[in-house]
């Protein structure tokens, strides 16, 4: 898996892009696929030959990128999808898996008449991006891996010994909602309850088991796929994300030539917490690629 020609570089990223006076409109649509319908939100010029496809973390939805889309859409066609079984997308048959989700994303691209894309994935979305790029390298021009777990044998063993991340047992009095809130509260900025509320709202919409996404990541054999990904990669590091911190040295060693952008204050909710720096990192990287 190759990086960009430049040597690895870590750059702090501070500040937002210029204020948008007339932001591009976000368009939402359902696309018919073999397993049902998948939902997407899109923004920016439809003439862009290589759109940016944004893949969210578990158990979020396209709304993780709601404020990122208009920033990218100033110059790029940006499309955020709901992973199959999340948000408003129908689930695939059988157990949840990274392979099934990547396959569903490909069927959506086919049905929507979209050829090549740049992939941007945050947390679970980055794992799906790896699988999609390995399965159909001719369809993927470049990848941005944001706070993406490195899913090797050591990771799978460690996850097998850990308790569920988001699973709470439903209760008649609704106290499980508060339990879900408390379970995630330590990983969100204390002055941004809106971010945690958005997480809970998306978790409640999951079709099936809310923990299924985490199990899918924990079962994925990334070491069998990563060498099949030849595209240039940007590593996006959230400085205040304790989950991502566990994996970053693996990525630095695995992709020594990939550029690194570190957003110091960014946490688990990086795209909707700091959409400006996130979008700027993506645009700067895409602009650096050869035409």
Would the pTM of this model clear 0.85, i.e. be above it? yes
User: How much of the chain is in helix, strand and coil states, percent to nearest 5?
Assistant: 40, 15, 45
DSSP-derived pairing of the beta strands 78-81 and 117-122: unpaired
Cis peptide before 108 (omega within 30 of 0): no
For residue 257, give both structure tokens.
């030539």
Let me know: does 14 contact 281? Beta carbons within 8 Å: no
State pLDDT tens for residues 170-203: 888 988 889 889 988 988 999 999 999 999 999 9
Q: Is the pLDDT of residue 15 over 70?
A: no
Q: Is the pLDDT of residue 12 over 70?
A: no
State the Rg of the chain over Cα: 18
State pLDDT tens for residues 21-61: 778 899 999 999 999 999 999 999 999 999 999 999 999 99
Q: How far is CA 153 from CA 2, 145, 160, in A?
A: 22, 20, 11
SS3 192: coil
Question: Residue 128: which of 86, 188, 73, 88 has the closest Cα?
Answer: 86
State pLDDT tens for residues 222-236: 999 998 999 999 999
Confidence of residue 207 (pLDDT cuts 50, 70, 90): confident
Check residue 17 and report its DSSP letter: P
For residue 187, give both structure tokens.
């990983």
Predicted confidence at residue 141, as pLDDT, reads 98
């Amino acid at each position: 898996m190759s990086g960009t020609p430049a040597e690895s570089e870590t750059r702090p990223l501070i500040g937002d892009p210029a204020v948008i006076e007339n932001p591009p409109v976000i368009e939402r649509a359902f696309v018919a696929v073999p397993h049902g319908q998948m939902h997407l939100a899109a923004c920016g010029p439809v003439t862009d030959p290589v759109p940016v496809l944004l893949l969210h973390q578990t158990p979020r939805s396209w709304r993780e990128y709601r404020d990122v889309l208009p920033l990218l859409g100033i110059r790029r066609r940006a499309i955020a999808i709901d992973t199959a079984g999340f948000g408003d997308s129908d689930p695939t048959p059988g157990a949840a898996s990274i392979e099934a989700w990547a396959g569903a994303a490909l069927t959506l691209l086919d049905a929507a008449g979209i050829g090549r894309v740049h992939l941007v994935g945050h947390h679970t979305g980055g794992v799906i991006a790896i699988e999609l790029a390995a399965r159909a390298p001719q369809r993927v021009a470049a990848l941005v891996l944001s706070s993406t777990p490195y899913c090797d044998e050591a990771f799978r063993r460690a996850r097998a010994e850990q308790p569920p991340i988001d699973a709470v047992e439903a209760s008649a009095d609704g106290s499980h909602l508060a339990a879900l809130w408390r379970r995630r509260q330590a990983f969100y900025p204390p002055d941004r309850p809106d971010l945690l509320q958005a997480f809970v709202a998306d978790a409640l919409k999951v079709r099936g088991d809310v923990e299924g996404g985490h199990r899918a990541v924990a079962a994925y054999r990334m070491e069998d796929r990563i060498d099949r990904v030849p595209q240039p990669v940007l590593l996006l590091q959230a400085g205040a994300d304790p989950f991502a911190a566990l994996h970053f040295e693996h990525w630095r060693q695995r992709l020594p030539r990939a550029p690194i952008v570190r957003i110091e204050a960014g946490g688990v909710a990086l795209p909707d917490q700091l959409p400006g720096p996130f979008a700027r990192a993506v645009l700067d990287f895409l602009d650096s690629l050869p035409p």
